[in-house]
Chain A
Amino acid sequence: MDQFWLVQYFQENWYWVPEYLPKFAEGLWITLKLLVISIVIGMTIAIPVGLVQVTGPKPLAWLARIFCTVIRGTPLLIQLWLIYYGVGSLFPSIPGLRQSFLWPVLREAFPYAVLAFSLSVAGYEGEVLRGAFRGVPKGELEAARAIGMSPFQVLRRVWLPRALQNVFPTLTGEFILTLKATPLAATISIYDVYGVGGIVRQETYKIYEPLLFVALIYLILAGILVVFFRYLENRMPRRT
């Protein structure tokens, strides 16, 4: 009898899973695309943002400092809405933009989300990298310069790798936080995993099951990311 009860429970409350599975796969793809692109662009911005705060020049260091404070001091949701609704609403008033090749891109929600999440990653990680660049022992940089490396070589071969190595665990924690922030994109009509969960809730009138399903997907994603980053961390050369 117990088994029968279980089957009935699944038929009543989880019948929608096979039907919506392809949609969830699409949503998963969008979530991952958003996460990976934002982290790559964000880290590319974060490196100079962190670096100029250590090396100067002063005005640039100031700008970077203000950028980090603003990004970290305001909710990501507001930044996302400011960029999508705010900046997005300014574009149609620019003459000629509607006819240009840029318009199809500017009409989509996804590029705005990528921009907002990239800036957020850049702000938080710029702050982390500031400490990381400062934490690399001076002697190592002097040694690199002494054997005749150009400033760019010092950065590429010694300073950046050593800085990243020291804060790698912090960065991976931050990337998990970014994954957990991606559902915000659903508020600007992007159908990521969370957005698809919203569709299911509207169409089936179920409250808990779709949310549980979505939570499970994010749990598994977070778990995979943790294992993946730990694998990378173990591959890093470390002085014993």
Chain B
Amino acid sequence: MQYAMELLAFSPPGWGGNLLRGLFNTLLIALGAYFLGLTLGFCGALGKIYGGPVLRWVLEIYTTLIRAIPELVLILFLYYAGTDLLNIALEAMGFARMDISGLWAGIYVLGFVQGAYSTEVLRGAFLAVPTGQIEAAKAIGMSSIQRHTRVIIPVMIPFALPGLANLWLIATKDTALLAVVGFSELALVTKQAAGSTKSYFLLYMAAAVLYLLLSLVSTLIFTLIERHYRRGQPVQG
């Protein structure tokens, strides 16, 4: 026990501080990826609903491929493809090549994957808005933008929230996969700490506890958000 406390102490030679810094990076990447994913998902859902045949076809391929290929393969592929494309673009514009920082690459890679899942969640929520309410909004003369900001989006949020909560939990857990491409988020930091102290069990246990706390707190927050957005709906059951 004494040894465990020393090992997890916040200041070196304890590894607690490193683990918490790893957790912070995990949180940053998850947040960035989640909101990038939401933005992509929102555009994707609008495209799938209002877009022409070509756009819909492209989006269908995007969501199907991303959801059918293992995340680990996607992460490696997007990571290399992203840095290569960026450097080709930079060189074409006459700038020097550069390495993207781990944080931004992680956000872009996971966000791109999350976007496919968000698209489907948001599309489902869009379609769940009762037609009568949209027609009513049209009938009293709201413009297309007003219809969306005042009726469709507020009404669809409760439908989308369970799926979006689930996606956030997936985002926090998927950040661990970035350890494979070498970002120093919680999983990789733990691996390094375990490797140099040889206390594998204790350190992986500590990381698992941190991830679990993150999930539990997130679930609690989403419950509160959902309660807030469902306040206008009749109580079920």
Task: Check if A78 is an interface residue, CB within 8 A of chain B.
Answer: yes
State the CA gap A211–B180 with chains docked (Å). 14
A69 CA to B217 CA in the complex, in Å? 12
* B187 engages A75 (CB within 8 Å): yes
Which of B72, B201, B204 is close to A183, meaning CB atoms less than 8 Å apart?
B72
The interface-forming segment of B12-20, B153-161, B208-216, B226-234 is B208-216
Q: Is A79 in contact with B198, judged by CB distance below 8 angstroms?
A: no
Would you list which residues of chain A between 198 and 231 have a CB under 8 Å from chain B?
207-208, 211-212, 214-215, 218-219, 222-223
A76 CA to B169 CA, complexed, in Å:
13
Task: Report the minimum CB–CB distance from A228 to chain B (whole Å).
Answer: 15
Partner of A211, one of B68, B76, B176, B215: B76
Q: Say whether, besides A73-B216, A78-B176, A89-B198, A180 and B70 are in contact (CB < 8 Å).
A: yes
Q: Contact at B70–A182, with CB atoms within 8 Å?
A: yes
* A77 / chain B contacts, CB cutoff of 8 Å: 176-177, 179, 187
| Distance between A28 CB and nearest chain B CB, rounded to angstroms | 14
Given contacts A218-B68, A218-B69, contact A81 B191 (CB under 8 A): yes
Residue of A nearest to B172 (CB): A75
Cα distance, A182 to B70, chains bound together (Å) = 8
Q: Are A75 and B176 in contact (CB under 8 A)?
A: yes
- Residues of chain A within 8 A (CB-CB) of B76 are 211
Contact in complex: B69, A219 (CB < 8 Å): yes
Q: Is the CB of B69 within 8 A of A78?
A: no
In the complex, B127 has a CB within 8 A of chain A: no
Note all chain A residues with C-beta closer than 8 A to B173: 74-76
A70 located at the interface, meaning its Cβ lies under 8 Å from any Cβ of chain B in the complex: yes
Contacts across chains A and B counted by CB atoms under 8 Å: 105
Task: Kindly identify which residue among B68, B200, B212 contacts A85, using a CB–CB cutoff of 8 Å.
Answer: B200
A residues 70-110 touching B (CB-CB < 8 Å) = 70, 72-79, 81-82, 85-90
Cα separation A186 to B72 with both chains bound (whole Å): 10
Name the B residues within 8 Å of A214 (CB-CB). 73
**B73 is contacted by which of A82, A85, A88, A183 (Cβ under 8 Å)?**
A183
Q: Does B71 touch A at the CB level, under 8 Å?
A: yes
* Cα(A110)–Cα(B212), bound, Å: 26
A-B contacts, 25 of them at CB < 8 A, read A73-B169, A73-B211, A73-B212, A74-B215, A75-B175, A77-B177, A78-B187, A78-B211, A81-B204, A85-B204, A86-B204, A88-B200, A89-B198, A89-B201, A179-B70, A180-B71, A183-B73, A184-B177, A187-B180, A197-B73, A207-B80, A208-B77, A211-B76, A215-B77, A219-B69
State the B residues within 8 Å of A (CB).
65, 68-74, 76-77, 80-81, 169, 173-177, 179-180, 187, 190-191, 194, 198, 200-202, 204-205, 207-208, 211-212, 215-216
List A residues at the B interface (Cβ < 8 Å).
69-70, 72-79, 81-82, 85-90, 176, 179-184, 186-187, 194, 197, 207-208, 211-212, 214-215, 218-219, 222-223
Sample of 12 more A-B contacts, CB < 8 Å, known A73-B169, A77-B187, A194-B72? A73-B211, A73-B216, A74-B212, A75-B173, A77-B177, A78-B204, A78-B207, A78-B208, A81-B200, A89-B201, A211-B76, A219-B65
